[in-house]
Structure formats: structure tokens, C-alpha cells
């Protein structure tokens, strides 16, 4: 990890990169027409699309309503994935027997893409939020399990030895040794989980959404409206990054002993 002092010049380069890219984008589309508007939208068109969705609305709602809808789904999926995945991963990490028993099911479910669950989600759960959250859940619970598991495995053996020798009771063991020890990797898993939630959101909102950023992207693809697609992608990226930053803040609070 680069120390924060070295980060600042990098941040400026990042801003510069975006400016250069924006300028190139403008040049290639509006100035020289190297890229025709049918292929990729020009900055002007994208700005118009942004104004349209923010002010007048697009796909049955305005931008902030879409964002709220999606954030709600992401939080639900994230919560469900965490509540199931983290304890499961911890248990698998702590008990070899439990791991041996659960692993086959995990290995059977894991390689199936979330999008492939849509037909079953619809017939089992209908067109409401439950079906969408299920799709998101399938993507998000995998990193939660794997990283919680790795987190337990990474705990220094002598800490576990010590706890065992001292005869620490089960609940205290979990609360004071297992979870704090695995916490760094649990948070890595949570971060990956959150990212998976956002990327799967688009798939989830294919199931009868009436608002949401995925819904915007779907409608824009049906309208063949590339400028709006870019706006949708940007909105997903910004909101996703914001939520991840929030999670990072929670992580720092939860693990004050970790010098970042």
C-alpha cells in the first residue's frame, strides 16, 4: 500500500487522466467525427441524457429515484449475503468437518452465473424484490464465504493454541478470537461482495423492475440510446464507489488497530 503522502500526486494524475480522456472523447466525437454518434455518444449527447434523466425523468422515474431503488436492492442483497456468507465461511474455516460437509454444495452452486438463475427466480419468487435480491445474493455470498473462510485460516496458529489451552468457552472464542482475527479478510470479502452486488444489480433488475439503474440500462438498450447507457453506467460506477468508500470508513472504525 502506498503511503498517503505518495497518494496525493497520484490523485492529481488521476484527475489529469480523466481530463485528457474527456478532451480526447470530445475531439473524437464532436470535433472530428471519427467515432460516429451511432457507435458511441459524444460528451454533448451524454450531458443532455444526464439532464433528461435528472430533471424530466427517464424509464418512469428520475435519476435520484432510480439510484434509491438500486441502493435499496443492493443493501438487501448485501445484508442477505453477509448474514449467510460470513457465518458460513467462519464455520467452514473453524471446523474441518463442517467444511468437508458443506463444500460439495458450495462447489455445485458456485460456478453457476447469477444471470442463469433468473428463470428459476421468476418462477419461484415472482417479479418482486425477492427475486432480484436472490440474483444479487448468488453473486455476493461467494466472496463473503471464501474470504471469511480464508480469514479464519489466516489466524496465527499460536493464538488458537493459546485459546484452546486456556479453555476459552465457545461463544467467547468466537467473539474475542475468531472474529477479530478474521476481520481483515472478512472486510476484504465484504468489499468484493459489495462490488458483486453492484455488478449483478443490472442482471437482477431485468426481473420486472419499475425503477432502478439496471432498469434504466435495460430501457436504454431497448431504445438503443447509447448516451443514456453511458449515463447509467456512470451512475452505477459513482454510486458503487461511494458505497465502497462508506464501507471503507466502517472498516477503519471496526479495525482501529490496523495502520492503513
**Binding to other proteins, residues 190-209 (CB under 8 A):** 195, 198-203, 206-209
- Coil, strand or helix: which one is 155? coil
Residues 24-43 that bind other proteins (CB under 8 A): 38-40
- The DSSP code for 61 is B
Query: Which candidate, 234, 245, 227, 244, places its Cα nearest to that of 66?
Result: 234
Are the CB atoms for 81 and 197 separated by under 8 Å? yes
User: Minimum Å distance from CB 9 to other proteins?
Assistant: 8
Residues 45-64 that bind other proteins (CB under 8 A): 58
Is residue 90 part of the contact set for other proteins (CB under 8 A)? no
Are the CB atoms for 59 and 222 separated by under 8 Å? no
User: Minimum Å distance from CB 2 to other proteins?
Assistant: 10
Among 5, 34, 123, 260, binds other proteins (CB under 8 A): 123
Nearer to other proteins, 247 or 256 (CB): 247
Are the CB atoms for 210 and 70 separated by under 8 Å? no
All 3 cell numbers of residue 112? 453457476
Number of residues near other proteins (by CB under 8 A): 77
Nearer to other proteins, 86 or 229 (CB): 229
User: Minimum Å distance from CB 226 to other proteins?
Assistant: 7
Among 113, 176, 248, 250, binds other proteins (CB under 8 A): 113
Residues 221-260 that bind other proteins (CB under 8 A): 221-224, 226, 229, 232-233, 236-237, 240-241
Query: Mutual orientation of helices 179-204 and 63-94 as an angle, nearest 10°?
Result: 140
Residues 170-189 that bind other proteins (CB under 8 A): none
Q: b/e per residue, 135-167, with b = 16+ CB within 10 A?
A: bbbbbbbbbbbbbbbbbbeebeeeebeebeeee
Nearer to other proteins, 108 or 256 (CB): 108
Query: Which candidate, 13, 11, 69, 63, places its Cα nearest to that of 204?
Result: 69
Amino acid at each position: 500500500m502506498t503511503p498517503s503522502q505518495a497518494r496525493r500526486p497520484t490523485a492529481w494524475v488521476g484527475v489529469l487522466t480523466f481530463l485528457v480522456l474527456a478532451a480526447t472523447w470530445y475531439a473524437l466525437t464532436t470535433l472530428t467525427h471519427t467515432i460516429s454518434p451511432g457507435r458511441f455518444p459524444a460528451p454533448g449527447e451524454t450531458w443532455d441524457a444526464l439532464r433528461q434523466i435528472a430533471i424530466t425523468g427517464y424509464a418512469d422515474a428520475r435519476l435520484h429515484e432510480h439510484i434509491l431503488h438500486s441502493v435499496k436492492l443492493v443493501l438487501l442483497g448485501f445484508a442477505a449475503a453477509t448474514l449467510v456468507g460470513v457465518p458460513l465461511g467462519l464455520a467452514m474455516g473453524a471446523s474441518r468437518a463442517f467444511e468437508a460437509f458443506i463444500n460439495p454444495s458450495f462447489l455445485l452452486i458456485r460456478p453457476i452465473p447469477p444471470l442463469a438463475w433468473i428463470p428459476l427466480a421468476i418462477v419461484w419468487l415472482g417479479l418482486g424484490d425477492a427475486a432480484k435480491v436472490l440474483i444479487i445474493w448468488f453473486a455476493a455470498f461467494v466472496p463473503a464465504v471464501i474470504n471469511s473462510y480464508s480469514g479464519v485460516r489466516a489466524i496465527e496458529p499460536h493464538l488458537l493454541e493459546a485459546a484452546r489451552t486456556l479453555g476459552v468457552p465457545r461463544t467467547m472464542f468466537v467473539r474475542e478470537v475468531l472474529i477479530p482475527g478474521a476481520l481483515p479478510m472478512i472486510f476484504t470479502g465484504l468489499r468484493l461482495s459489495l462490488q458483486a452486488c453492484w455488478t449483478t444489480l443490472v442482471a437482477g433488475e431485468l426481473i420486472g423492475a419499475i425503477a432502478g439503474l439496471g432498469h434504466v440500462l435495460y430501457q436504454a438498450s431497448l431504445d438503443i440510446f447509447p448516451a443514456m447507457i453511458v449515463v447509467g453506467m456512470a451512475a452505477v460506477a459513482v454510486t458503487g464507489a461511494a458505497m465502497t468508500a462508506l464501507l471503507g470508513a466502517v472498516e477503519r472504525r471496526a479495525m482501529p488497530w490496523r495502520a492503513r
